[in-house]
Amino acid sequence: MNVENLPDLNPPQDLGDVHDPSRPILSLAVEKDGAHRVAAHVHDRGHIVCPTSGAYWIVTPEGTWLVPAGFALWIPPGMHHEIYSHGSVAARILFIDQACAGQLTPNGGVVKVTPFLEALLERAMRYGNDYEADSPAARLAQVTLDEFADQEFASLFLPVAKEPRLARVMRILIDAPGQYAGIAELAREAGASERTLARLFRKETGMTFTQWKTNLTLLHSMERLEKGEAVADVAHDLGYASPSSFGYMFRRRLGVSPGSFRKSSQ
């Protein structure tokens, strides 16, 4: 996940800082060729980031999300975040006025874009940003927010820890996600017992060690597949006995095969 050498782009601050409850949604179409990065920034408005091709990584103080095409991320108002991609991306970005953001969760999260939500997002983009209160565009904006709020979050989030022993273990796993199969060896690396390390995972992340590691594996595999690497190579490097067992995990979590995801990312 090294992003230090990616070309920097300026964040779209103008729309993100407009205060106008009569226009609940302001939209922006984004299309960027090649790898790029938007440095850490913050908006007064919340926003929904929805790639239509490619994938974005969103880094926040709470953790990291991966948002591939077909998914959308909610970022609440005032949440610092950094955005980057290893390849070309086309995306819709909807900026949500603070007065309307309360109907969505105060925490960020990724949802699967249903066909109905996709149609609402497309129509919101078509209406543009020059509309009046109680106009068809304003009413559509409320329906869009209601529908988004009704979606279930997907497991594409990797929370980070502040506790030193757990932070060390997370860094070890992030650097070599396929090297450590169980918690025992990691506990020795952290200077803690297995029981203590397991307790820290639940306390700091709300996940078990296995859940957190599976999320890491999923995100790492998506990053590599997005770059075009072979499914068999990714499965092997992440410690799976076969590409089919890796494919089962991938389909169960995302609803598509690794090969289909790789193809769509390209």
Q: Work out the percent of the chain whose per-residue pLDDT is above 90.
A: 42
Confidence at 1, pLDDT banded by 50, 70, 90: very low
Give the pLDDT of residue 66. 82
User: Has residue 246 got a pLDDT over 60?
Assistant: yes
Q: In 10 A of CB 101, how many CB atoms?
A: 22
- In the predicted model, what is the mean pLDDT of residues 19-37? 90
Query: Which CATH class for the 161-265 domain?
Result: mainly alpha
Q: What is the mean pLDDT of the chain?
A: 87
Least confident interval from 5-14, 21-30, 38-47, 217-226: 5-14
* Average pLDDT of the residues in 166-193: 83
pLDDT tens-place string over residues 84-110: 887 788 999 999 999 999 889 888 889
Task: Break the chain into its structural domains and give their ranges.
Answer: 8-154, 161-265
Type of residue at 257: S
Query: So what's the architecture of 8-154 in CATH?
Result: Sandwich (2.60)
pLDDT confidence of residue 184: 86
pLDDT the model gives residue 252: 87
